[in-house]
Amino acid sequence: ITVVTWNVGTAMPPNDVTSLLHLNTGETNDADVIAIGLQEVNSKINKRLKDALFTDQWSELFMDVLSPFHFVLVSTVRMQGVILLVFAKYYHLPFLQDIQTDCTRTGLGGYWGNKGGVSIRLSIFGHMVCFLNCHLPAHLEKAEQRKEDFATILHMQQFEGHAASGILDHDLVFWFGDLNFRIESLDIRFVKYAVDSNILSQLWEKDQLNIAKSTWPVLSGFQEGPLNFPPTFKFDVGTNKYDSSAKKRKPAWTDRILWKIKSPTVGFGASGRRPSQGILSVSQLCYCSHMEYTISDHKPVAAIFAVQFASKADKPPVEIYVADEWSRPEQAVVRYKMAAGFHRSSWDWIGLYRVGFRHPKDYVSYVWARSDDGERCLEKQLCAQVMFSEEALPKGKGEYILGYYSNTSSSIAGVTEPFQISLPRSEEGSSPTDSSGSSSEEEDDSTLVLLAPKSRSPSPGKMKRHRSRSPSLAKFQGLILRPSSRDRGTSRSPSPQSRCGLPGDIPTIHLPQEELGCCGAKAKEPGRAADSQEGSPFYQTVREQCGPRRISADNPLARADPRNLGLLPALRLEMIDQAMGRRRESVDQGYSCRRMTPTSPPSCSTSPKEGSSP
């Protein structure tokens, strides 16, 4: 387990953090889990609004750097400028369960989140582990205030379930952050002399945290490695020189990483046998600062731990079986088996991920884990089976991974080893719906996939009106943002509701009068006609006006994929060139008086009479 803490001082992220995360250090030191705690991330109003719409730049940076090393974001929590991220290798994900987050404000008497603590707790192979990132009050004379704030954080943060309701109830706790403890008594000149002369041990006994570990009951049991690196605060930004301003702050080890192992239960357990000793042990392999980063007045600190324990989980909650290669669409069959006691949900789904995916919502496509025979398969320990539709499969050749996402635990409960997908790329100009007309009525909705490749929208599960804590959309350059005509309260997640043609939620699409006049005639060029889709909002509107018919592929309305109307987000994003190009095409084809966006109202006299559409 690698733990990193860094007060970034509202700075922009650096170009590279590979050395900070101790990557490329060899097989023996490769981490399985990485926890990153940041403090003082820019949280001004305009920056927070942007981060609410898009993933913050620091999280993006760490996901970009870690995903090529097969790390996936397990969970993240933010409280103003305090952020905590936990990553793990993808093959460990099924064994990381019961993931919960919490935060406690201590600034301005508990009303402001510039100070306080954020935590992520989870079960790792059956052992409860908690990561706690804190930013405590500053200044030399605030030692007692730091003690009170830490006690408040421990008291306020409570988790669901009986396994570990409080922070100190966990089998292992990592406590880190800008704890702001200073060096007492010693003069600034002596402190700098000790640092320059590399006699740091003469400063340890005056360190406030070292003193507190032996005198504060709240810190009983917390351990820390030797401070064999220079004090990490305060530096002139852009340099490795300590504070040269008029304040001339005394150097101090403000940025720390500690851990605590839960004391074994005294006496006998419920079974009448004495609990086993030494189930979990921790040894620190590295504890160092990184002087090469100069964007902040703090230096980042990293620690690597080797944690040994007896695994309490030998098999994942869901086992997935798949062929070694999919070279034809009919091979895209997924069989999965749920362990006894697994809490399945009708909102569970199986995602198809590229190798190197960043987080559980970073899927290429997904298929619902069907519920019609799910209970029977779970009860009798049988394998259930689903199939990806042809249009949902990525074209070309690449390595992919399947993951079963549990809506109940909000985590991945099963993954496969990487396998190959080798499908021929479709020729340009060919209609993607050529083969869908004959099978659209027989298709099982539970396996229907209507998600564009590289989508990073929230998962297809929850129909609740709350913000997802998962990472949101990436940064896009050169976009036009237009508000949708749909109700803002509607979920943005692709869900079964998005496949149903609900008239109340459908933008009306009007046809010109000359086109309405020929509604009864059938299309004479089937090669150029768009296939009708059952349940499509666009084709329902046409049928209600003049009965079922096919629309020519040359018609601009046919180019608006009706299947995606139900998947539009609250803000529709268009590339500027594409939007302008679409308008030019509409002018060239004689529709100059009509806006061709499917959510726009008609703006010309050739629209149908009032009341003719739902």
Contact yes or no for 540/574 (Cβ under 8 A): no
| pLDDT in the model for residue 27 | 55
Identify which of 178, 201, 198, 202 has the alpha carbon closest to the alpha carbon of residue 257.
178
Quick one: DSSP state of residue 530? Answer: P
Cα–Cα dist 580/80, whole Å:
39
Domain parsing of the chain, residue ranges: 2-265+279-308, 318-372+380-423
Q: For each successive 10 residues of the chain (614 residues), what is the average pLDDT?
A: 97 95 75 97 77 84 96 96 97 97 90 90 96 97 95 96 93 98 96 96 96 94 97 97 93 98 61 52 97 98 96 92 95 94 92 97 94 67 90 95 95 97 71 40 39 40 38 41 41 37 43 44 40 40 41 44 40 51 50 39 40 38
Residue 2 bridge partners (DSSP): 34, 304
At 52, which helix (H) or strand (E)? helix 45-53
**Residue 504: how many other CB atoms lie within 10 Å:** 7
Give domain 2-265+279-308's CATH number out of 1.10.1740.10, 3.60.10.10, 3.40.50.970, 3.40.50.80: 3.60.10.10
Task: Tell me whether domains 2-265+279-308 and 318-372+380-423 share a fold.
Answer: no
Cα–Cα dist 357/275, whole Å:
41
- End-to-end, the C-alpha distance of the chain in Å comes to 58
Indicate whether this model's pTM tops 0.85. Answer: no
Quick one: DSSP state of residue 263? Answer: P
Helices (H), 402-555: 513-516, 537-546
Cα 32 to chain center, whole Å? 18
Q: What is the pLDDT of residues 122-138, one digit of tens each?
A: 999 999 999 999 999 99
Q: Provide the strand spans (E) within 332-451.
A: 333-338, 349-354, 365-368, 384-387, 396-406, 411-415, 419-423
SS3 35: strand
Contact yes or no for 557/542 (Cβ under 8 A): no
Phi/psi of residue 567, nearest 5 degrees: -110, 10
Pairing of strands 325-326, 419-423: parallel
Identify which of 149, 158, 136, 133 has the alpha carbon closest to the alpha carbon of residue 58.
133
**Residue 461: how many other CB atoms lie within 10 Å:** 23
| pLDDT in the model for residue 339 | 92
Cα–Cα dist 293/298, whole Å:
9
Identify which of 510, 521, 525 has the alpha carbon closest to the alpha carbon of residue 548.
521
Check: CATH 2.60.40.2840 for 318-372+380-423? yes
Cis before 234 (ω within 30): yes
**Residue 271: how many other CB atoms lie within 10 Å:** 7
Contact yes or no for 337/318 (Cβ under 8 A): yes
| pLDDT in the model for residue 521 | 41
